[in-house]
Amino acid sequence: KAEQLSLTSRYKSQFLANMSHELRTPLNSLLILSKLLTENPEGNLSDKQREFAKTIHAAGSDLLALINDILDLSKIESGTVSLEVTEIGFRDLAEHMERTFRQIAEERELNFLVEIDPNLPPAIRSDGKRLQQVLRNLLSNGFKFTEEGGVTLKVGSAEGSPLRAGSDWIAFSVADTGIGIPEDKQRIIFEAFQQADGTTSRKYGGTGLGLSISREIARLLGGEIEVVSTPGAGSTFTLY
């Protein structure tokens, strides 16, 4: 029975992966052509018509992001993702995140700190692209759900964590001073399409796939993600 179940779930994931791929092709022409219309090269469209073309382009982009997420999740779940493990310098990783989010921090008038524990070795062996993907996800959530204060990325050894003391674990923690997550939602937010409250998606956007993808990637990398949060005070997501 268990074997059958896992086979069925693999088929389902494969179907989703194929389907998402098929959806992207027509969507791409829709995006390119609507973009072209917004530019109005022949100058024959009214302002209103250009507005419509912009809306088509924006909605299409959202849809593409959603399809990409579904594709990614189903690929990971069906076990068709292979890791590319290389040496990743902590400095490089930190600089990359700094570059990616500095602008957003400034626009939102939020603090953004990146701290690397000086006692860490210079590098870790992992899949750099996937590691970055998880951190980008956690950081963009941090910025998304924070109005005041800021977001801090800390990279250090996991010694402070009682469960992992004396081990070789590395902790990448993303702490924000945002809205926080109620205790009873802290598990379900890792499920696909789940958000802490039903009104979240209207106010903050998003699809509820980021954390599911991040959790699966963490597993694939041999690690895990933990969350500690106080509603109204902020959240800390740690990737071990």
Does an H or E element contain 154, and which?
A: strand 150-157
* Dihedral sign (CA 182, 184, 189, 190): positive
CB of residue 102 to ligand ADP, shortest distance in Å = 18
Exposed (0-12), middle (13-18) or buried (19+): which is 141, by Cβ within 10 Å?
A: buried
d(CA 186, CA 194): 11
**Interface ranges with ligand ADP (CB under 6 A):** 141-142, 145, 176, 178-181, 189, 195-196, 200, 206-212, 235
- The nearest distance, CB 237 to ligand ADP, in angstroms, is 7
- Residues paired with residue 150 on neighbouring β-strands, in sequence order: 111
Q: Smallest gap, in angstroms, from Cβ of residue 233 to ligand ADP?
A: 11
Radius of gyration of the chain (CA): 20
Tokens of residue 166, six digits: 């004396």
What φ, ψ does residue 162 adopt, rounded to 5°? -55, -35
Instruction: Decide whether 110 or 124 has the Cβ nearer to ligand ADP.
Output: 110
